[in-house]
Amino acid sequence: MKAIGCIIALLLAVGVLGLALMGTYNSLVGLSQAVDAQWAQVENAYQRRTDLIPNLVATVSGSANFEKSTLEAVTQARASVGQVRVNPSDPASMAAFEQAQGGLSSALSRLLVVSEQYPDLKSSANFRDLQVQLEGTENRISVERSRFNEKAQTYNTAILRMPARLFAGFFGMKEKPYFKAVAGSEKPPSVNFDFGAAPTATP
């Protein structure tokens, strides 16, 4: 009877441990999926900006004698962004992605500042509309990046706490890298609608 009692107690203990392990695993999976879903939102916001660029370039290039090098810089930066394949779980991949996006932000900033020197663009409703859309998209990018970092922090905290920390490595769950912007790229390109004033420099 004692042996049977020990076996039952052991089975109960294993059952409780199994349920706890299952609960921990399911919780971590849910948090990991939340990080991935938020990263998709970050990519969507960046894609929106990328999709606006061809129309912006086409509108600006219609101005006589517009600096060809400025347009080429934007076009090349956009192409570079398209070549980056990012894995939000890989710090090196995230760094390469942000470097490419930072280059595009810089090129767009230059284009918008130079554009202010062309009076014919002032009367272009299409150009002004694209500026508004671009500014809104840059703000959305900033919001989605912040939300991604919040989701990553929640997940990282969970896998570092006990008892999850004992199982996370076994399940192959590692910390998610935070979104770290290249210096200066955390601020959106300057969008100045006062064409009569001096261009606003991006800090």
Contact status, residue 105 vs residue 202, Cβ threshold 8 Å: no
Q: What is the largest CA-CA distance in the chain?
A: 97
Residue 46: pLDDT band (50, 70, 90) is: very high
Confidence band, pLDDT 50/70/90 cuts, at residue 37: very high
pTM of the model: 0.74
Split at pLDDT 50, 70, 90, the class of 16 is low
Other C-beta atoms lying within 10 Å of the C-beta of residue 58: 12
The percentage of residues in the chain with a pLDDT greater than 70, rounded to a whole number, is: 80
* Least confident stretch, 79-83, 135-139, 148-152, 165-169: 165-169
Q: 92: which 2 tokens? A: 């090196």
Q: pLDDT grade, residue 19 (50/70/90)? A: low
- Euclidean distance between CA atoms 188 and 183, whole angstroms: 12
Structural domains of the chain, with CATH: 27-168 (1.20.1440.20)
Q: What is the pLDDT of residues 168-194, one digit of tens each?
A: 777 778 888 887 755 444 444 443 433
SS3 (DSSP) at 199: coil
Helices of type H across the chain: 2-61, 68-83, 91-115, 119-122, 125-160, 164-168
Tell me the pLDDT of the chain averaged across its residues: 80
pLDDT at 188: 45
Q: Give the CA dihedral 78, 84, 88, 89, nearest 10 degrees.
A: -160
**Stretch 31-58: mean pLDDT:** 92
pLDDT at 152 over 90: yes
The dihedrals phi and psi of 183, each to the nearest 5 degrees, come to -50, 125
**DSSP-based three-state secondary structure for 84:** coil
Helix, strand or coil, per DSSP, at residue 67 = coil
Task: Give the Cα separation of 4 and 43 in Å (integer).
Answer: 58
Contact (Cβ atoms closer than 8 angstroms) between residue 135 and residue 48 = no
Distance CA(148)–CA(145), nearest Å, equals: 5
| In the block, residue with structure tokens 């290249």 | 182
CB atoms within 10 A of CB 20: 12
Banded model confidence at residue 203, pLDDT cuts 50, 70, 90: very low
Output the pLDDT for position 17.
65
pLDDT computed for residue 5 by the predictor: 64
pLDDT at residue number 122: 66
- Whether 197 has a pLDDT exceeding 50, the answer reads no
Q: Measure the CA–CA gap between 30 and 26, rounded to whole angstroms.
A: 6
- CA end-to-end span of the chain, whole Å? 79
* Confidence class for position 141, pLDDT limits 50, 70, 90: very high
Closest-CA residue to 185 (of 110, 111, 105, 131): 105
Considering only residues 134 and 124, tell me which one the structure prediction assigns the higher pLDDT. 134
Mean pLDDT on 133-138:
92
